Amino acid sequence: MWICQDQDSLAAGFTLTRLCLLQVWAWRSMSVLDDFVRMRLYRERASEFELLAETEASPDVRLRYRIVARHYRELAEREERADKARMAEQIKRAKLQRQQAEAKATLPARNDAQFFLVAAE
């Protein structure tokens, strides 16, 4: 979490607050990108260890390489599940915010006389 302290003047404080919000946004967007990069790297490492296992003559070493490859695949799958869960939560929050905004935007009910007076204007 980014902590921002306001400077002497209100304008400086506002500028710093905006700057800190931009930093938080950039950090979060980079975090999402980092998650995708990390998933890809885990899958690449798993592939590398699978290739090593295929070319290895020793059965014990081959088994160890396959175990390491399996662990990297599991890490990639966990990252993917975590990403899907985060996205589902964000979608859920966005829907809730939209519903709340729509509820605030609805006009209060008017009786027929008020409707015709407004329409006549």
* 49-61 pLDDT, tens digit each: 999 999 999 999 9
Separation of alpha carbons 14 and 6, rounded Å = 7
* 2-51 pLDDT, tens digit each: 344 444 444 444 444 455 544 545 555 557 788 889 999 999 999 999 99
Collect all residues with Cβ–Cβ distance below 8 Å to 95 and sequence separation of at least 6.
none
Show me where the domains of the chain are located: 39-101
Give me the pLDDT at residue 32, please. 73
Please indicate, yes or no, whether the overall pTM of this predicted structure exceeds 0.85: no
- Torsion sign across C-alpha atoms 87, 93, 99, 104: negative
